[in-house]
Amino acid sequence: MAAFRPAGPGRLADSPVFVRGVGGAESNTACLLARAGHRVRWIGRVGTDGFGDHVLAEIAAHGVDVSAVRDPDRPTGVYFRTGGERSTTGERPTDPALAEVLYHRTGSAASAMSPATVDRAAADSGRILHLSGITAALSGGCLALLYELTAPRPGRPLLSFDVNYRVGLWKRRDPGVLLDLARRCDLVFTGADEARAAWGAAGSAAVRELLPEPSVLVVKDGARGAAAHTSSGSCHVPALSVETADPVGAGDAFAAGFLSATLRGLPLRTRLRHGHLAAAAALTCPGDLAEPPARALADRLAALDDTAWGRLRLTPGWTTRKA
């Protein structure tokens, strides 16, 4: 989607000037993976309007393949948001620390996606196919598409699924659908808060009990860290201490860092650390996309001992500093 943020602090109603960008969970992850040196294709839908031109140009500028995603009959989705954390209740926030989010994507090109609009050969061509629960909430066609892509089939790539529960999108739908989709995937990301809100699962172990099927389940718990569960056991890595500039995009960045380390065949604990480092880059940068740490820097920090890892404090600009 085309994304608009107020140029200054305050409510949407009080903001006369907005800064344009690009928003989208899957496209955020795709861009960061491409900048980490991987070959990436983004499969979505935007209109043939100016906003669609902007979205595709921005995503392609990060090195992502964006071919064959135009819809000549429907507009590109648009959304507006202030800074801050997302509300977990879906109500209009009164707390300035919470983000005010306004979507305009009913009837958009993305909401009209279905099994008929997606090239299955393109979707299956990578080593990993990364999906998001946001897509499942957009329309019946989008949900049918996710069920088709997560169906067992010969030659299916490793399926990665970020639950991305947005309470406002599921007010008149059963979020149990997200649980069903997650059970059909190989690698699942969820936040502890969203698992609690969507399914009533309190704690990482409870989420694993609900989701024993994925070969890897990652449960993120904010500043407390993240845990990964596999058939061989569980691993927990504390989060980094960061000076937060903007929380937007941190979850998408975590997924990108973890997936990048997965593609490189790194150990599970190291994958979690790369997820935290990518999230820290997003947290310390305003906007949905941040400059990720260079691979050599990320590898060096991920290899620190536990004491040194715990002493790290990352501030805005840390990914581009030479020291």
Catalytic amino acids? Answer: 252
Which residues, other chains included, contact 86 with Cβ-Cβ below 8 Å and sequence gap of 6+? 98, 99, 101, 166
Strand 101-104 versus strand 78-81 pairing type: antiparallel
Which DSSP letter does residue 320 get? G
Q: Looking at the DSSP assignment, which residues form a beta bridge with residue 128?
A: 158
Integer Cα distance of 18 and 48 in angstroms = 22
What residues contact residue 80 under an 8 Å CB cut-off, 6+ apart?
3, 4, 5, 12, 18, 101, 102
Angle between helices 176-183 and 140-149 (to 10 degrees): 20
CA–CA gap between residue 35 and residue 294 (Å, rounded): 9
| CA distance linking residue 73 with residue 49, whole number of Å | 10
Pairing mode of beta strands 226-230, 233-237: antiparallel
Euclidean distance between CA atoms 199 and 210, whole angstroms: 9
Pair type for strands 70-71 and 46-47: parallel
Question: How far lies 89's CA from each of 72, 93, 99, 154, 265, in Å?
Answer: 36, 9, 12, 40, 38
Task: Give every CB contact of residue 276 below 8 A, 6+ residues apart in sequence.
Answer: 225, 226, 237, 239, 240, 254, 257
- Structural contact between residues 51 and 78, judged by C-beta atoms closer than 8 angstroms: yes
Q: Edge-to-edge strands of the sheet including 158-162? A: 128-132, 158-162, 187-191, 216-220, 226-230, 233-237
